[in-house]
Amino acid sequence: MNHQELKILLDEAVEKCNRKNFIKSDPISVPHRFSKKEDIEIAGFFAAIFAWGNRTTIINKANELMQLMDDAPHDFLLHHQQKDLKRMEHFVHRTFSATDLLFCIQTLKRLYHQYSTLENVFIKNQSTRNFEMELALRNFYLEFFDEEFVPQRTRKHIATPDRNSASKRLCMYLRWMVRDDKKVDFGIWKKIKPADLICPLDVHVGNVARQLKLLNRSQNDWQSALQLTNELRKLDANDPVKYDFALFSWGVLSKKTPVN
């Protein structure tokens, strides 16, 4: 398959999947319940952080958390009282425990007071002209855990390229916030360009990418995420991560691959 044939194939797959009916069965459905920018950011953050395992469970647990936050997550973060946190004490999603949740609530409250929007945390000390996603993810990790006391167990829920992690969940979250497709992704962050995004890489996407010769590394790590994204930029330099829809759909939804 040559370059043009691959582009046609993937563009067709994006067109089929990047539609509003994709939303209801995807974790992005959780932030789509909201209209306020900050609520979308917070609901999206937790939905993305929870995004491993069964998709129905991910959606249900993220919605459960939104209900615990009175379906007004930004207002809850800024104005909750200590007694309001009691309702969080039994929350758990896989390895994400109440300890992790309470730390995230404390940290997000600080970040919103300090930065107003989570976008500003990612772009800290960077210009839009010379933006580097690797630095953005590294900065977010360091800022998120800039607390006097950090539960060691919580660190595993926020990835960083410093550990050579593909940072799949944060890359997916950034796709949601940055891409403006008027269908699925929100495009509420304007200081990061879609061209700067890195494709969310997991086992499913990696397997399909290798079969399509878009990835030749065996690991699903940060270097592989960069390699895959660089190949996708050859297909669309301005919006390479739109192809996440195509790779994901073959890897997860249909259980099929486009080539033998």
Number of domains comprising the chain:
1
Among 170, 186, 166, smallest CA distance to 178 is for: 186
Tell me the per-residue pLDDT of 131-140, one tens digit each, with 9 for 90 and over: 999 999 999 9
- Note the pTM of the prediction, 2 decimals: 0.94
- List CB contacts of 179: < 8 A, sequence separation 6 or more: 185, 186, 187, 194, 197, 239, 241, 242
Confidence band, pLDDT 50/70/90 cuts, at residue 202: very high
- Whether residue 12 lies inside any domain: the answer is yes
Asked if residue 97 is part of any domain, the answer here is yes
**Is 95 part of any domain?**
yes
pLDDT digits (tens, 9 = 90+) for 52-61: 989 999 999 9
Radius of gyration of the chain (CA): 18
| Rounded mean pLDDT, 232-256 | 84
Per-residue pLDDT, averaged over 119-128, amounts to 90
Q: Considering the domain boundaries, does residue 216 fall inside one?
A: yes
Domain enclosing residue 77, as ranges: 3-253
Query: What average pLDDT does range 157-181 have in this prediction?
Result: 97
121 inside domain: yes
Q: Is the pLDDT of residue 255 over 80?
A: no
Q: Which of 53-57, 169-173, 203-207 has the highest mean pLDDT?
A: 169-173
Answer yes or no: is 258 within a domain.
Answer: no
